[in-house]
Amino acid sequence: MAHSKDEQGASYPLVAYNFRVTVDGRSMSFAEVSGLKREHHTQTYRHGLSAWEGEDIVKYRYDKYEPIILKKGSVRGATFLHEWLETKQLNAIEISLCDEVGTPVLTWQIAKAVPVKLDAPRFDAKSNDIAIESLEIQASGVFVKDVS
């Protein structure tokens, strides 16, 4: 039996190019987002009876976060990222993976983020590439929310 369009859409993976980034309530366009991770620390504990009972894995309740890299084309008059870098203000960020019509399906919420580094575009007189600047942010409080 053939599946309906909705059943097919629900069972196929989403495409990675259709995403939206919102920084402190302001929707922004980025070419690439990378480094979005959340990791729990674990420790293997070897006690006196490990040879017979096996080792215990202890999970500590603090998370480890990696720097997140946001890449954006340089646009005349768009100074929000530069101002954010100067003020060092903690902002909330949402990165939403969208379906084919642009409706968010999965959202990664970052509770607190602060920019730590801004890389200027690569300047080369022999090419006609787009000027892409890269912003590195340090984040904490990363949660995934299913919007659908």
- Entry pTM: 0.76
Q: What are the tokens at 38?
A: 């959340």
Residue ranges of the alpha helices (H) in the chain? Answer: 5-11, 50-53, 80-87
Q: What are the pLDDT digits (tens) for 89-145?
A: 999 999 999 888 888 989 999 999 999 999 988 898 998 988 999 999 999 888 898
Question: Helix or strand or coil: residue 30?
Answer: coil
Reported CATH class of domain 12-146 = mainly beta
Q: Which residue has the higher pLDDT, 87 or 51?
A: 87
